[in-house]
Amino acid sequence: MKIYNSLTRRKEEFVPLEAGKVRMYACGITVSGEAHIGHAFQAILYDIFRKFLEKKGYEVVYARNYTDVDDKIIARSRETGIPADEYAKMMIAKIDAAMKRADVGEPTLWLKATENIGNIISFIEGLIAGGHAYPAANGDVYFDVDTFPAYGQLSGRDKEDMLDGVRVENDGEKKNPYDFALWKSAKAGEISWDSPWGRGRPGWHIECSAMIRAAFGDQIDIHGGGRDLIFPHHENEIAQSEALTGKRFVRYWTHNGLIKVNGQKMSKSLGNSLLLDDLMDKFSPDALKFALLSSNYRNDVNVTDDLFPAAEAHVTRFYKLIGRAERAFPDEAGKETEIDRKFDAAMEDDFNAALALADLYGYFREVARLLDAGDARARRMTNQIRETYALLGLFRQEPAAYLARYAKEEEIPAEVTALAEERRAARAAKDWAKSDELREKLRAMGYAVKDGKDGYTLSRL
């Protein structure tokens, strides 16, 4: 299988460090607020990556972290009057509950910065001993970017634009303005720990490097996160990890696109953040995943007003057909393995879930046709679809339960109704050729017509 490597900017054949085993890490959430759709997007993706690698036969250890101490958390602690450690625990519980509602799988390992302070201090001591970091007079410790010539390899930035988007602080304590903090001295009333440089807390970037090394050793196979983390966060991880060990830190860097809302980048400052709990109050986990996975994971997702309603409508039609097939052929246990082979082929090409989802439309059109013909292959297809696409988090609910909770009556367009009425008139005139022609037109528009003694019914394919 091939994975797009952000470091080399090309797809590469996946060859893990150790045959048959994968060490994978994805940057998790800074718990200064509740989980939003961007957090869910990334968590859903890496859960899928892990599951597909396991399907391929790899033994996967997948770690995610919670950043449970940083400037934002301390600021929220001051605003709420809740101690920073208690605030972080409260938010982690809320985020975990929201992810569970979205049916996102747990990683193998949960890592937290506050549980790795000793590992972080040891890591920084190693960088100082190697000449790659220096303590300042005020108790801060900085990484000396000039000691790592490969700095900028992931982002493609040079020193002239390194400061773009990076908050510059305590410039008087640094050798260079682009050096970054490994340890921050404590201010009055802040959560802090003892260190060789005085009371303080870790900088953001060092947390991931130290936790990865403690959990996996010097090297891992896959490191992931949102594209916004490439610089400075992941660039800094590479610098401090490779400066310490002298080894290539990550074999494959992967980055997902960002969430936009009606074309604008989602951010708290713009007031357009979409909280995960709010979405789960309105839509099913299936619709959430169907919407987010419908474009390549490396692309941005533009959340428009109709994105999730449209996804729910598609999923509803698919569940209805699954339910019909299961009722029509209750004892059919066979499967259509070609569906699974096509799915694997798509996912082996850089986890192309979007291509795998696109295949569903054709599969379900065929299911509808087979059901109309009374062919048990319809059930074999839906059996395989449910088994295969469960890896993406789809069709894991029983159809009746899903439909009872999420299905909404769909308004049939006037042009569809007009064709159906024209067909009814053709049948009344015994113009069977015209009737068949109109049936096919309706099918091409995505609707099935079923005749009965009291007239006809229309339904989406």
* Residues 34-80: tens digit of each pLDDT: 999 999 999 999 999 999 999 999 999 999 999 999 999 999 999 99
User: Mind listing the pLDDT tens digit for each residue in 16-40?
Assistant: 999 999 999 999 999 999 999 999 9
- Give the integer Cα–Cα distance in Å for 53 and 418: 49
- How confident is the model at residue 263, as a pLDDT? 80
What is the pLDDT confidence band of residue 457, given thresholds at 50, 70 and 90?
confident
With vertex at residue 372, the alpha carbon angle to CA 366 and CA 376, rounded to the nearest 5 degrees, is: 70
Contacts of 368 (CB under 8 A, 6+ apart): 321, 448, 461
Report percent pLDDT > 90 for the chain.
85
Q: Report the amino acid identity of residue 72.
A: K
Averaged pLDDT for residues 157-164: 72
User: Mind listing the pLDDT tens digit for each residue in 166-216?
Assistant: 555 556 789 999 999 999 999 998 999 999 999 999 999 999 999 999 999
Residue 398 predicted with pLDDT over 90: yes
Q: Specify the higher pLDDT residue, 461 or 345.
A: 345
Residue 445 predicted with pLDDT over 90: no
User: Mind listing the pLDDT tens digit for each residue in 277-288?
Assistant: 999 999 999 999
- How confident is the model at residue 164, as a pLDDT? 62
Residue 165 predicted with pLDDT over 60: no
Averaged pLDDT for residues 338-349: 98
What is the pLDDT confidence band of residue 158, given thresholds at 50, 70 and 90?
confident
User: Mind listing the pLDDT tens digit for each residue in 374-395?
Assistant: 999 999 999 999 999 999 999 9
Averaged pLDDT for residues 247-273: 85
- How confident is the model at residue 273, as a pLDDT? 75
Averaged pLDDT for residues 345-369: 97
- How confident is the model at residue 239, as a pLDDT? 98
- How confident is the model at residue 269, as a pLDDT? 59
Q: Which residue has the tokens 């299911």?
A: 367
CB 312 within 8 A of CB 284: yes
- With CA atoms as reference, report the closest residue to 212 among 248, 249, 181, 254: 249
Contacts of 98 (CB under 8 A, 6+ apart): 34, 35, 40, 275, 276, 277, 280
Residue 413 predicted with pLDDT over 90: no
Averaged pLDDT for residues 239-243: 98
Interhelix angle 117-129/204-216, rounded to 10 degrees, is 100
- How confident is the model at residue 447, as a pLDDT? 86
Residue 159 predicted with pLDDT over 80: no
Give the bridge partners for 62, in sequence order: 24
Residue 272 predicted with pLDDT over 80: no
